[in-house]
Chain A
């Protein structure tokens, strides 16, 4: 069949077709759809789950692999940092069944804290890395990735970037699963990592990388015969192809699909008749540095253009126009490869990222903000939709570092600046991911902070994945439900408050103010289902009492309320989720409820 597949879907289809037995991951844009797609497939020898974090996921995949199963762990680039501990050890221990670590990088970045480059991780932990350019290629490379992993008994990194993960392409394939028999766990001393063994295996590991170079080299390819060599990889390959259209005779392209380990002979062969080399790649100069090393070691001197001499930007993603600009700079505009387009362009300001209309987090943030009015407070934030608590006019997030860090940074702040009240915000999924250990630490070491767990009963930002607090498993079937309050109590924390952020605002403010009166470790759970999960039965509108004071807009920042050209206030009936927050702030009783279909 011929079907339009997103890059991540293509990976999922190919994993299933190639007999993956165990698929685990933690959601994170742009990696999420691999597991989301795999969950649609069922077979008696196939298991898929959302794990509580990336370290957990990779360790499950490792266990399955040791029993001979084909396994995949999926995550985004920052998730790989969480899973780095098992990954680096796993390179020493090795695997049995093919193990793919799927990592989505995010040049831009579009929805990440960092622009880190997983190809560097491959160099760092001595692993082969596949770097496909398109969904179709990603589909084709899963099979060899499993085979290389099984042959060399090593995990394999499968790295894609946003523009491959989230681009779609028509892919032709037969949806037929190749079953892999799982032979079961066989006891071997190899599976126990010990310093003495680690040294021996490190030597072996370097040898393995050396051995696989030639074999992996077949996935790299050379196009054209021009004297100017462009070395590229990933999605940049297509940008290059389009940018040099019409100048094909001048250039030749070396597309590197396996950035690590690189085969010296192949590179030297390509470079042989070249007059100059241009490196076009996103993020770090991985290809540039690897190739330059090879050239240096072989006494080959050639002029190069890339990131290291400032021709290619280090940060942000590339596109065809940027590659054209780079080439124009290198050739001092002699190629004229960019045409002028429209001259009269409207300048439109960016839409500020903001919490959705009806988001219960907006209510929770405002409750805490009002309850602490006039006090010296620091709000530490975390990773998730609610990171947007920093946006005006909510302005209730002063720090954000990485998953789980709100609770732990709050403790550091409290130690260093004891006079301030410190309030940490964390979401439900993030709490399970890496918030729990921080909370244990604050109880054990007696750090008196307040932790607000914003529980919207889903993993909102990545598209509503279930987690332990929902009690639903990946197919929507029943799992065991983990109650957040019970965890908090189990740690030993007695000061707990549970609040529905949609309930009476003033009452909630009073409750929280009273809760914050005593200076001891406490947890407030704000619980209300994500506004995007429930269909509404009513919405709000502005009536004739409105005096256009704009308090509703200025306090809540709700995207559903705005003023029109004449300065009249209106509520967008399509966007409104009927949370009623705005009504609390209207001094003139001008906001009223309308029932749906009336």
Chain B
């Protein structure tokens, strides 16, 4: 596995999630590179992060080469399918924010994914984060579930270590509780 794409809308914590995953790989001894689209009032706009494990590459994943697509939002995941192939792993957060000028409904997009890709997992991270009273933490909820399900092979301890490296102490304390709860309950 080499290349990961994270797609979502601004405000979902895409960039932080990307940073956390990069540091997870780095702590395991890998060289990583990543890139993201940010700026120009992206809150609510399309945000995509590319993560590449391996050093001697550019920051952008070439078309068709991503091994994993993590969709924090369903429409944004669909927007980035040019980066994946039929064998790519797809993990979708069950969150749908329809672009104002789009006709595509949630079910249509989900059907499309089911029809074209064999390895599809849907995770209800948004709802779980909301229930746990941390609506802003759907990104870390998503990561925890991805690891818990064994899609990415990082342990709870590795996640917590990285969060302590990347987050401020108060943010870390909140997210630590979240990770523990997600491991316990979901």
- Which residues on A are within 8 Å of B, measured CB to CB? 2-4, 29-30, 110-111, 134, 163-164, 166-170, 235, 238-239, 241-242, 319-321, 324, 339-342, 344-346, 348-357, 385, 388, 461-462, 532, 557, 559, 562, 565, 572, 574-575, 597
Residues B3-58 near A (CB distance < 8 A): 9, 11, 18-19, 22-23, 25-26, 30-41, 43-46, 55-58
Find chain A residues with CB under 8 A from B43 CB: 356, 532
Q: Choose, from B73-81, B140-148, B151-159, B177-185, the stretch at the interface.
A: B73-81
B58 touches A348 (CB 8 A): no
**Listed residue (A346, A357, A557) with the most chain B CB atoms within 10 angstroms of its CB:** A346
B residues in contact with A357, CB < 8 Å: 44
Contacts of A164 in B (CB 8 A): 59
Q: Is A3 within 8 A of B26, CB to CB?
A: yes
Does A388 contact B59, Cβ atoms closer than 8 Å?
no
14 A-B contacts (beta carbon < 8 Å): A110-B37, A170-B30, A170-B32, A170-B33, A235-B58, A241-B56, A241-B57, A241-B58, A341-B64, A342-B64, A346-B112, A349-B99, A351-B99, A356-B11
Q: Determine whether the beta carbon of A574 is less than 8 Å from that of B35.
A: no
Contact yes or no, B35 A168, CB < 8 A: yes
In the complex, are the beta carbons of B41 and A355 less than 8 A apart? yes
Q: Is B186 an interface residue (CB 8 A)?
A: no
* Complex alpha-carbon distance, A246 and B49, angstroms: 27
Pairwise interchain contact B59-A235, C-beta atoms closer than 8 A: yes
CA–CA, A320 to B3, complex, Å? 14
Taking A168-B22, A351-B45, A352-B101 as known contacts, 12 extra A-B pairs with beta carbons closer than 8 A to each other, sorted by chain A number, are A163-B35, A163-B60, A168-B19, A168-B33, A170-B31, A170-B33, A241-B58, A341-B85, A342-B84, A342-B85, A345-B81, A388-B41
Known: A168-B32, A341-B63. A353 touches B41 (CB 8 A): yes
Known: A342-B81, A575-B44. A348 touches B99 (CB 8 A): yes
Interface string of B133-145 (1 = CB under 8 A from A): 1010000000000
| Cα separation A229 to B63 with both chains bound (whole Å) | 25
Q: Are B116 and A167 in touch, CB under 8 angstroms?
A: no
In the bound complex, CA of A167 to CA of B45 (Å): 19
Q: Which B residue's beta carbon lies closest to that of A30?
A: B39
Q: A345-B82, A350-B99, A574-B135 are in contact. Are A356 and B41 (CB under 8 A)?
A: yes
Q: How far is the CA of A29 from the CA of B36 in the complex (A)?
A: 13
Question: Which residues in window 118-172 of B have CB below 8 A to A?
Answer: 126, 130, 133, 135, 165
Smallest CB–CB gap between A77 and chain B, Å? 13
Known: A111-B39, A168-B33. A242 touches B109 (CB 8 A): no
**B59-70 near A? 1/0 per residue, CB < 8 Å:** 110111000000
Residue among A4, A353, A572 with max Cβ neighbours from chain B (10 Å): A4
Q: How far is the CA of A355 from the CA of B104 in the complex (A)?
A: 23
With a cutoff of 8 Å between Cβ atoms, the chain B residues found around residue A324 in the complex are 62
- Residue among B32, B35, B36, B46 with max Cβ neighbours from chain A (10 Å): B35
For residue A108, which residue of chain B has the nearest CB? B37
Query: How far apart sit A341 and B61, CA to CA, in the bound complex (Å)?
Result: 13
The residues of B that contact A3 with a CB separation of less than 8 Å are: 23, 26, 165
Query: With A169-B32, A242-B58, A348-B78 in contact, is A110–B112 under 8 Å at CB?
Result: no
Contact of B86 among A163, A342, A346, A559 (CB under 8 A): A342
Contact A2–B26 (Cβ < 8 Å): yes
5 tightest A-B CB contacts, nearest first: A341-B64, A111-B39, A238-B58, A29-B39, A111-B40
Which residues on the B side are within 8 Å of A574 (C-beta)?
126, 130, 135
- The reply to whether A238 and B57 form a contact with Cβ atoms under 8 Å apart is yes
Does A4 contact B23, Cβ atoms closer than 8 Å? yes
Given contacts A166-B36, A238-B57, contact A342 B82 (CB under 8 A): yes
Nearest-Cβ distance from residue B181 to partner chain A, whole angstroms:
17
Cβ contact within 8 Å between B41 and A321: no
Contact A346 B30 (CB under 8 A): no
Contact among A167, A242, A559, A565 with B44 in the assembled complex (CB-CB below 8 Å): A559
On whether the beta carbons of B62 and A242 are closer than 8 Å, the reply is yes
**B114 in contact (CB, < 8 A):** no
Contact call A320/B78, Cβ cutoff below 8 A: no
A28 CB to nearest chain B CB (Å): 9
Rounded to whole angstroms, the CA-CA distance of A163 and B84 in the bound complex is 21
Residues of B within 8 A of A238 (CB): 56-59
Q: B82 — which chain A residues lie within 8 A by C-beta?
A: 341-342, 345
A105 to B13, CA, bound (A): 25
A294 CA to B135 CA, complexed, in Å? 59
Instruction: Contact check, A4 vs B104: say whether CB atoms are below 8 A apart.
Output: no
Residue of chain B at shortest CB distance from A240: B58
Shortest C-beta distance, B162 to chain A (Å), equals: 9
Q: Which residues of B contact A351 (CB under 8 A)?
A: 9, 44-46, 99-100
Cα A110 to Cα B37 with chains together (Å): 7
Of B34, B58, B104, B112, the residue contacting A168 (CB under 8 A) is: B34
Cα separation A29 to B46 with both chains bound (whole Å): 16
Name the residue of chain B whose CB is nearest to the CB of A170. Answer: B26
CB pair A4 B81 closer than 8 Å: no
Q: How far is the CA of A238 from the CA of B165 in the complex (A)?
A: 29
Contact: B116 with A342, CB < 8 Å?
Answer: yes
Interchain CB contact under 8 A, A167 and B59: yes
Interface contact A349-B60, CB-CB below 8 Å: no
B84 neighbours in A (Cβ, 8 Å): 342
Q: Which residue of A lies closest to B29 (CB)?
A: A2
B37 shortest CB reach to chain A, Å: 6
**Shortest beta-carbon distance from B98 to chain A in Å:** 6
For A562, the chain B residues whose CB sits under 8 A away are: 97-98, 100
- Please give me the residue from chain A that is nearest to B80 by CB atom: A348
**CA of A504 to CA of B41 in the docked complex: distance in angstroms?**
27
Chain A residues in 8 Å Cβ range of B173: none
Nearest A residue to B60 via CB reads A319
Residues of A within 8 A of B133 (CB): 597
Q: Are A170 and B22 in contact (CB under 8 A)?
A: yes
